[in-house]
Structure 1
Amino acid sequence: MALDARFYKLSEHGRPTEFGTIFEPSDEWLAKQSAEAVFEPDLPIVDSHHHLWEHPYVYDRSGFEADVQSGHQVEATVYVECGAGYRDSGPVELRPVGETEYVAAAAGSSSAGVDVAAGIVGFADLTLGAAVEPVLAEHMAAGRGRFRGVRFSTGWDASPEIANTQSGKRPGMLREAKILDGARVLARNSLTLDAWLFHTQLDDVAALADAVPDLKVVVNHSGGPLGYGRYASDQSDQFDQWRDGIRQVAKRPNVWCKIGGLVARGAMYDYLTAPEPPGSDELARLWSPWLEVCAEEFGAKRCMFESNFPVDKMGTSYRVLWNAYKRFASSASREERELMFGGSARQFYSLL
């Protein structure tokens, strides 16, 4: 597929954008985005992936609510772990339970009727193997009925230019016996696994899905296409490799895909030096090669759109982001759109 090279050209002015790094969004820059009406405002949305945190800058429930109240019909959201609110003491393996406690305390219906953090996805160290079970029990107790699963981030690349993920210590982690044992504990407890890794590692997800067929797995951020560092110079080849990986993973019926998360590591455009944020038409056109593959390979029943806020707020507003997704999906049937924008997330995370 021929990709529009102009979208990958870094600014010739100032320092290069450090893709893969989280920056505080610029309200001044976002204010330059052209005003847009909400596209298809009656389409119900479950935002399948967002964060709340105090570091590297404050983005708490009030900040998230301000973004969500953008005119779209957001009914519920799924909080995904990001290292916030950990306990300061106690057994190391139990300290991430503090994040579930923190989010459960902030969860609930907003003034606009949005069930914030209807589902909570926390962190547990799956390298504990079967010994992860008491950790999961603590999460479930702390989640007040909202705890749904674990995100285990194994994004790893040998290049020092690529920012590896929290648990990405080495290649092939999702194939390791201990992690597979931990994954089986998730399945036994009817919990889910969010898999966040890079497009070069998608075969690891396929291997895990085959090894633990009873586990529901969702690939984060469109399968993690990398478009910066050593991957910036051969975008067409990287796209082909990513697409092949998505096709293989999608053959596993127990794997879903979160569509989105393309701003930071995908390096889809230089959001730190662009004169103004692109509109939803341009974003839909820019992202459509990736969105189209995900939607076609997984189908509406196993796709769910995500905001990935506040990370993707570095590049666009909440209203324009969801407008872009809606414009991309406008040719799908109403039933398919209702699945991709909410129904699939409800089914995956048991939010029915």
Structure 2
Amino acid sequence: MQVVDPHIHLWDLKTHHYPWLANPGVSFVGDARDLRHDYLLADLLADAQPIEVLKVVHVEANHDPADPVEETRWLQRIADDPASRRMPNGVVAWVDLSLPNAQEILEGHAAFANTRGVRQILNVHENGLYDYIGRHLMRDTTWRANFALLRRHQMSFDLQLYPSQMDEAAALARDHADTQFIVNHTGMFVDRDSVAGYRVWRDGMRQLAGCANVAVKISGLAMFDHRWTVESLRPYVLETIDTFGVERAMFASNFPVDRQFGSYADMWNAYASIVAGASDAEQSALFVRNAERLYRI
């Protein structure tokens, strides 16, 4: 099986600082203590066997917020090494758009050839177990003003949030129709204990899909389903593809985070099993072409 993986993370604990790995803990996404080791491109490609990984997109790995451009600099050095096969082919960098110097940081990231976009995690939840940042960034005046700078640098925005935030995000996407938004982790359907929770996810995804500039990565499902099976993933995968259409959905691994809950090959083979009835062109779009097009790699 050939894939383009548009959501992977790498880290080198010997040379870089990742606060969450310096003092790892246990959360709903697993035991970060199990991730407290270097994870480099060679490790990813070893994990990937026997899947043939054609290209990858690196999404910021919660690197030292005091020097976010250093992560991009490091990744570009890796990509420029002939032995890396130009991987990571695309880089989604980190910036705090609520800071006064956000423009300077964006310019720093934009100086590197493989930068394609940015991600700033937006997840806010009333339950402290799930809350990432404790503030509603999309309501921050400075954040919203700096968001407009993405278009200047032709950067996309990786949109990581919860269903309860999707109406605000859809409004943001409509306000910035010339910026590509890419929903992370299948919309992070976290409130799974009620019909109401499902409806908030379903309706929120439909709102986002109503914006032509929003696409989605089908990934991260194992974070909420540690003992997943093909059948437990199937409804979320199919609903997401049905909502966004084959041309605005793509599969991704979220490795090595989801490595805690299954092998790389098992995850991709599960996706393949779920869409086995799709045409060759549809499968090519979901596994390869959409990631190449949306991340321009």
- Classify the TM-score, shorter chain: 0.7 to 0.9
Q: Tell me if 1:348 matches 2:289.
A: no
Q: Tell me if 1:156 matches 2:124.
A: yes
Q: Is the 8 A contact 2:92 2:117 kept in 1?
A: yes
2:142 is matched with: 178
**Structure 2 SS opposite 1:214:** coil
1:323 is matched with: 269
1:29 is matched with: none
Shift of 1:175: 3.9
1:15 is matched with: none
2:30 is matched with: none
Q: Is the 8 A contact 2:192 2:198 kept in 1?
A: no
**Structure 2 SS opposite 1:263:** helix
1:195 aligns with one of 159, 162, 169: 159
Shift of 1:109: 7.4
1:59 is matched with: 39
Alignment of 1:273-284 (within 5 A): 283-284=229-230
Q: Is the 8 A contact 1:47 1:305 kept in 2?
A: yes
Q: Is the 8 A contact 2:110 2:153 kept in 1?
A: no
1:103 aligns with one of 60, 65, 75: 75
Structure 1: distance between partners of 2:107 and 2:235: 41
**Structure 1 SS opposite 2:88:** strand
Shift of 1:210: 1.0
Structure 2: distance between partners of 1:222 and 1:183: 23
**Structure 2 SS opposite 1:286:** helix
Structure 2: distance between partners of 1:63 and 1:222: 25
Alignment of 1:121-140 (within 5 A): 121-128=92-99, 131-140=101-110
The higher radius of gyration belongs to 1
Q: Tell me if 1:169 matches 2:128.
A: no
Matched-pair identity in %: 31
Structure 1: distance between partners of 2:9 and 2:80: 15
Alignment of 1:59-78 (within 5 A): 59-68=39-48, 70-78=49-57
Q: Structure 2 regions of 5+ residues with no counterpart?
A: 14-20, 22-35
Question: What whole-Å deviation, never above 9, does each CA across 1:30-84 have from its counterpart, x for those lacking one?
Answer: xxxxxxxxxxx3xx3110101012333321222112112x122321000000123
1:22 is matched with: none
Q: Is the 8 A contact 1:108 1:118 kept in 2?
A: no
**Structure 1 SS opposite 2:222:** coil
Q: Structure 1 regions of 5+ residues with no counterpart?
A: 1-40, 272-277
Q: Please, what TM-score do these two structures have when normalized by structure 1?
A: 0.73
- Bigger helix share: 2
Q: Tell me if 1:303 matches 2:263.
A: no
**Structure 1 SS opposite 2:10:** coil
Q: Is the 8 A contact 1:150 1:192 kept in 2?
A: yes
Question: What whole-Å deviation, never above 9, does each CA across 1:262-318 have from its counterpart, x for those lacking one?
Answer: 112x2x24x4xxxxxx6xxxx321111111111011111111111000011111101
**Structure 2 SS opposite 1:127:** coil
Structure 1 segments of 4 or more deviating over 6 A? none
Letter in 2 for 1:156: V
Q: Tell me if 1:238 matches 2:197.
A: yes
Shift of 1:260: 1.2
Letter in 2 for 1:191: M
Question: What whole-Å deviation, never above 9, does each CA across 1:79-130 have from its counterpart, x for those lacking one?
Answer: 000123x48xxxx4xx10011112122225786x85421000110111136x
Pairs aligned (count): 275
Letter in 2 for 1:223: G
